[in-house]
Structure 1
Amino acid sequence: MRTGAKVGIGVGAAVVVVGAAAAIWGPGLYADRANSVAADAPALEQPAAALPDADAVAGTWTIGEGSFAGYRVEEVLQGNDVTVTGRTEDVSGSVTVADGAISAATVEVDVASVATDEPPRDVYFRDQAMEVGDFPTATFELTEPAPLEEGATAVELTGTLTIHGVSQPATVEAEIAGDATSGEPVQVVGSVPITFADFDVEAPDLGFVTVEDDGSIEFSLQLEQ
């Protein structure tokens, strides 16, 4: 059995960088700066659109340009709360609608391309925490059909989330925007709460910086047919 990899999503091998910056600016100013560059949570670019009859959108939809995925975690730096986000646009996969429901869906994320505002943090995240040489991707795969209710603006997706080579059941509450019958992309956004230990990843406590045990995976997908 592998030992838990210590995730430095907020610190890791970048301890020296974070510590030096905090010492120069002061923890409060460093926290303010870090929070100012954290990405906003994914949001619909237009108001949620009611789903038409599922038969009207039957077929396979692919994840297209403009999609992204990433993570959000919280740190505590000497008593100051810090939000850290990582993002990548290297997302692929497809969604199939049949018999009045989403019958299949697969989303794959290139973990090695996830980036924050701190390159040293990203190096640690890729090489030591997530071990991308062995586990280059994270995936979500639907395991149960998700009925599409006519007039609904959201859908619940039940599936398997695989991160760092570990698979766990996950439920995603997703919002939808766009006219699915217009030929234009349909946007789907959502997030999945995770506990690092469930994926054999240990959030460190380094004294002056503590990473919370929980975080979330966030996504915004542009689906094209």
Structure 2
Amino acid sequence: MSLLTRRRVVIGVGSLAALVLIVIGGTYLYINVISGDAPEPLALETSPPPATGGDAGLDGAWTVAGGSEAGYRVDEVLNGQDNTVVGRTSDVTGQLTVAGDEATAGEVTVDMTTVTTDSGSRDGQFRGPIMQTDQFPTSTFTLTSPVPLTGLDSGGPISVTATGDLTVRDVTHSIEIQLDVQRSGDGVQVAGSGEIQFSDFDVSPPDLGFVKVEDHGTVEFLLTLSRG
């Protein structure tokens, strides 16, 4: 091999190594500096306003009010580095019926077209080939079994498990949601999360070489409920 050829090989290897370092360094910078840490899971207020309402009790109809949020949390490997992605929206609607210290019926609907993360390109993939929000703009969780609320009338918080049907892209699958519930003024706060397998909803997580998303994730929400 001639000296010139060896120099070209060395330069080529050096350029490739530099490119790898730039990619890794840029990814580290994005994950740890530009985007920062992923938001903490949605949770109840630590010091909610004291419960009000006198002897009215909890029985009746409750509606998802402003200030509610819902979304997802998923782990990915971006250029060889672990990263947690969180997407959320405040476009959440729904209702809950309470009778005899139980939530007897309930449904929560999330507008998937407005779920956003810290990356516009990621959001474009989410709304496009992954979730196809032009065809399936909403996802819904519907309660299928009563949920005991014993202890909530005294303020809470309480922790319970809710079983229901989650519908994503017109595919419905039964899941369990872990709930923390407490009174907050004249309303009720509900923080919930549940693990899902994407294949249960015919969702294929992206695997683009430089980014690979896990085949499971977490759905989470924080609801503020008001009467009627």
Report the TM range for the smaller structure's normalisation: 0.7 to 0.9
Please, which of 136, 158, 164 is the counterpart of residue 163 of structure 2? 158
**Counterparts of 2:164 and 2:194 in 1: how far apart (Å)?**
11
Once superposed, which parts of structure 1, at least 4 consecutive aligned residues long, lie more than 4 Å away? 47-50
**Counterparts of 2:34 and 2:108 in 1: how far apart (Å)?**
29
Q: Answer 1 or 2: higher relative contact order, Cα 8 Å, separation at least 6.
A: 1
CA deviation profile, 1:4-58 (whole Å, cap 9, x unmatched) = xxxxxxxxxxxxxxxxxx73852322221366152221011125899xxx98200
**Counterparts of 1:146 and 1:82 in 2: how far apart (Å)?**
35
The answer to whether the 8 Å contact 2:74/2:213 transfers is yes
CA deviation profile, 1:108-151 (whole Å, cap 9, x unmatched) = 00000101111121122112211112111000000111122236
| Secondary structure of residue in 2 paired with 1:155 | strand
TM-score, normalisation: structure 1: 0.80
* 2:177 aligned partner: 172
**Counterparts of 2:200 and 2:56 in 1: how far apart (Å)?**
38
Please provide the CA RMSD for this pair.
Answer: 2.4
| Secondary structure of residue in 2 paired with 1:83 | strand
The count of aligned residue pairs is 199
* 1:119 aligned partner: 120
* 1:216 aligned partner: 218
- Pairing 1:56-71 to 2, within 5 Å after superposition: 56-71=57-72
The answer to whether the 8 Å contact 1:37/1:117 transfers is no
* 1:36 aligned partner: 36
TM-score, normalisation: structure 2: 0.79
The answer to whether the 8 Å contact 2:198/2:216 transfers is yes
One-letter identity of the residue aligned with 1:171: E
Please, which of 185, 188, 204 is the counterpart of residue 186 of structure 1? 188
Gaps of 5+ in 2: 1-21
Q: Bigger CA drift: 117-126 or 146-155? A: 146-155
The answer to whether the 8 Å contact 2:130/2:205 transfers is no
One-letter identity of the residue aligned with 1:101: E
The answer to whether the 8 Å contact 1:188/1:221 transfers is yes
- Pairing 1:6-21 to 2, within 5 Å after superposition: none
**Counterparts of 1:112 and 1:34 in 2: how far apart (Å)?**
25
**Structure 2 residue 204 is the aligned partner of structure 1 residue 199:** no
Q: Kindly, what percent of the aligned residue pairs are identical?
A: 44
Q: Bigger CA drift: 137-146 or 150-159? A: 150-159
